[in-house]
Amino acid sequence: MTYCPVHEAIQILQEKWTLHIIRSLLDGPKGFNELSRAVGGCNSATLTHRLEQLEARQLLTKTVISYMPPRSSYALSEAGVALGGVVDAIAQWGLQYLHPDAEGRFHVGG
């Protein structure tokens, strides 16, 4: 198979929690707990693994603030910040096409 940058970009962004993490960090660096609350529903082990992967992919950087107690801060890299355009497009679509049902859950067509 031939590799394609667009196919690969989708491969990266379809990994669970990635877009939630990027969205959350777009308004500034966050510590692990704050990020965990913002992402919502992702357990700590999974979030840790995904953050390591995004760091290895150069989409974010991790800064250790203290070792005891362990505290770190996560910030988007330049390439990560540039994903703001993707998050904006998703937000625009969601606001236009997803409507709440009687329970407040959003669906296409409402």
Residues that bind a second copy (CB under 8 A): 1-10, 13-20, 23, 40, 57-59, 77, 79, 82-83, 85-86, 88-100, 104-109
Q: How many residues does the chain have?
A: 110
CB of 63 to a second copy, least distance (A): 19
CA atoms within 13 A on the CB side of 99: 6
CB of 102 to a second copy, least distance (A): 12
Q: Cα(14)–Cα(92) distance, rounded to whole angstroms?
A: 18
4: tokens are 């394609």
Nearer to a second copy, 66 or 96 (CB): 96
Q: Determine the straight-line distance between the first and last CA of the chain, rounded to whole angstroms.
A: 40
CB of 21 to a second copy, least distance (A): 10
